[in-house]
Structures are given as structure tokens and as C-alpha cells.
Structure 1
Amino acid sequence: MNDAVVTEARRWLGTPYLHQASVAGVGCDCLGLLRGIWRALYGAEPEVIPAYTSDWSEPQGDEQLYRAAMRHLRRTDGAWQEGQVLLFRMRRGAVAKHLGVLSATGPAPSFIHAYSGHGVVESPLSEPWRRRVSARFEFPLKG
């Protein structure tokens, strides 16, 4: 399963960043990337995504993205493995509002994410990024 997640995420590389979109090669944001991976693996998305702002309700302190991840993914605290979904807090005390897929572990870890101004890219999971990871999840096992 994890190999399929990384393979699908890599298919989205180069997709332009477009807030609330989820179409490979056309546009997506970080949630749109995860939505696209979900559709490739399982078919229909598990719920309709309401409109959302780029701040993810940060001023209200509402953990919308974390709650959605808890509804549809499996939280893990085990070993870091390719294919895991990384949930990021961009600063201490802020709500979690960025997602990526761990694409490589070992001495040169990396992750795939849709990043404003860059599109879907594979970035090193450097220490500044790693310390922003607030939770890790796995896609559910197929049926």
C-alpha cells in the first residue's frame, strides 16, 4: 500500500499550486494532493470537502484538518515509513494546516507536498520541516 501511495504522489509532481483544487497536472493544494491520492487508491472521496480558507481556521484555533485526518486515516506513532501522511504545524501553537506524503526515509528523507508558489514538489524532510510534523497517518488498508 505504501508504495502505491508514493507512486501516486509522484504522478502529481509538477502540478501547479491552486487553492482548493485537486486535478493532477492542472492544479491542487496540499489537501487536493491527498484527495487525488485517495481517489486513485479507493475511488470516491470519503466526504464532501466544504470550502476552506488558506489559514485553515487558524485565527479560531479550529483543528479542522487534524479532525478530518483522524476520521479517514490511521494515526501512527511507529517507525517513519514511505507513504505516511505528514501533518504539519507551520509554527508552534498554530493549528495543523499543511499535509505531505513521506517519500523517502533513511539518511536523506523527503516528502511530496503541494506548496504555495511552488506547486507539487518533492522536498528534503530537513530538520526545520521535521520539527513541524505534528502527527503521522497511514492510508487505511483496502477492504
Structure 2
Amino acid sequence: MTASPDWAANVSRAAIVAEARSWIGTPYRHQASLKGAGCDCLGLIRGIYRAFYGLEKEPITPYSPNWAEETGQETLRDAARRHLVDIDAAPFRDGAPLDAGDVILIRVRDRGPAKHAAITSGPDSIIHAYERHAVAEDALPAAWRRRIAYAFRFPGIVE
């Protein structure tokens, strides 16, 4: 799905990464999306989206910590496809350098749905929020790289 034409244009990768880095240290809070106060991995992506594109395009319904296991559906992927630009994730799984400022969705279990989201900050690094940890910038471990299920670009990226 391509982004709708009413989205912001001319957003730089550096600006996305800088915004993501400004969330570092925000405590993990399930379902939250408020810089400095709390967020989960989806809340981080939502906050960055709001910083560049304004209000979110759809309401976020409550979800449990194990929502993906309960439904088995690719809910996170489907939502990303409605608001971001779908790109091929296969090269990243195979070791290609990540493009800074993109969004990756990772399978927590090999055959499970994608349930973790992160912003790429360099060729082998991500910024993400995960349970019992504040938002952090970390190297992307090989085990997680192999589990990248989907990749997306924010609309209007200036290369």
C-alpha cells in the first residue's frame, strides 16, 4: 500500500533517527505513547509518527501484552501497511545494512506473528522499547535480524 497524498513530505532519515533518540530513556509502559513518561514498542513508533505527521489516523484499541499469540493475526503488519510504505524485508534478514529511519517488525517466535517494532538507527542498530527496559538504542542481534518479518518506510522520506 502506498501512503496517501495528504501525508507530510520531505522528512529526512536523520530527523526520524533524531526524534527516536529523543525518546531514549522513556520507561516501558504497555500501551503508552508519551515521550519521557512511557511507551511500548508500538507507542514509540506512534510517537515518532505524530512528530512528523500530526494526529494518528486511527484510534488504538486496547491490547493485551500477549495479543499476537491470542489472535495469530498479523495485526501490527496490517496497521503499518495502512500508514507506512511497505518495503522488502528479505535483504535485511539476509544481512544487508539497515537504512536508518525505517521501521522493522520482528517475530518474537519463529513461526509467530510479528509483535515487536523498532526504528532502525544505523546499518546494524535499532531504537526500541521492550518490557522491563526503557527505550534504548541497541545493536541488532543476528537472532533478531533473522526474525525481521516486515519493513516499512515513513512516507515522504528524502533520500
Please tell me the TM-score bracket, short chain as reference. Answer: over 0.9
Separation (CA, whole Å) in 2 of partners of 1:118 and 1:135: 23
Work out whether 1:136 is the aligned partner of 2:151: yes
TM superposition shift of 1:81 = 0.5
Separation (CA, whole Å) in 2 of partners of 1:25 and 1:6: 17
TM-score norm. by structure 2 comes to 0.83
Q: Which runs of 4+ in 1 moved over 3 A?
A: none
Alignment partner, residue 48 of structure 1: 59
Amino acid at match of 1:125: L
Say which SS state the counterpart of residue 100 (structure 1) adopts.
Answer: strand
Q: CA contact under 8 A between 1:86 and 1:133: conserved in structure 2?
A: yes
Alignment partner, residue 83 of structure 1: 101
Alignment partner, residue 3 of structure 2: none
Separation (CA, whole Å) in 2 of partners of 1:12 and 1:100: 12
Q: CA contact under 8 A between 1:57 and 1:63: conserved in structure 2?
A: yes
Q: Deviations over 1:5-36 (max 9, x none)?
A: 11100000000000000110100000100110
Q: CA contact under 8 A between 1:56 and 1:65: conserved in structure 2?
A: no
Residues 15-54 of structure 1 mapped to structure 2, 5 A cutoff: 15-54=26-65
TM-score norm. by structure 1 comes to 0.92
Residues 111-126 of structure 1 mapped to structure 2, 5 A cutoff: 111-126=126-141
Alignment partner, residue 11 of structure 1: 22
TM superposition shift of 1:3 = 1.2
Separation (CA, whole Å) in 2 of partners of 1:60 and 1:68: 15
Number of residue equivalences: 139
Work out whether 1:103 is the aligned partner of 2:121: yes
Alignment partner, residue 64 of structure 1: 75
The alignment yields a C-alpha RMSD, in angstroms, of 1.3
Amino acid at match of 1:103: S
Q: CA contact under 8 A between 1:56 and 1:64: conserved in structure 2?
A: no
State the percentage of identical aligned residues. Answer: 50
Amino acid at match of 1:128: A
Say which SS state the counterpart of residue 6 (structure 1) adopts.
Answer: helix
